[in-house]
Amino acid sequence: MDSYQIDGVCYYSPSSALSAMAARMFGSGVDSAGRVYQYSTSVSGDSLLTTSTLGHTSLMIPVLQPCQLIDWQDAAALSGLVVLALVAALSVSILRKGVNE
């Protein structure tokens, strides 16, 4: 199943990933004439549409990145390797203690 990463969260559909992106794209600014404006972004199909109170619009088609966060299977495998390394270190320590006595 494909998933897409936005910041530190994975989304399992392109529309939910785009919605997460759009939810963060809002604010206000000042143009070169000194006019204050607000802008917000909404999802339009497979693209993002940003509109401002000055009447400007911008259409953007983002490239969604695949999710690269560690899932529970990866975490379990890495934890198993850490436990294996700790057991090996403890075994060597016990064997050294036995040889020195």
Residue 71 confidence (pLDDT) above 80 = no
Per-residue pLDDT at 44 exceeds 90: yes
Decide: pTM greater than 0.85: no
Q: Is the per-residue pLDDT at 22 higher than 90? A: yes
CA–CA distance, 97 with 101 (Å, rounded to integer): 6
pLDDT surpassing 80 at residue 98: no
99: domain range? 70-101
Do 63 and 89 sit in the same domain of this protein? no
Same domain, 21 and 53: yes
Q: What percent of the chain has pLDDT over 70?
A: 99
Return the pLDDT at 40. Answer: 97
Are 12 and 57 contained in the same domain?
Answer: yes
Give exposure, 81-91, as e/b (b: 16+ Cβ within 10 Å): eeeeeeeeeee
Rounded (5°) CA angle 28-45-19: 50
Residue 100 DSSP code: H
Total number of domains in the chain: 2
Q: What is the mean pLDDT of residues 57-75?
A: 88
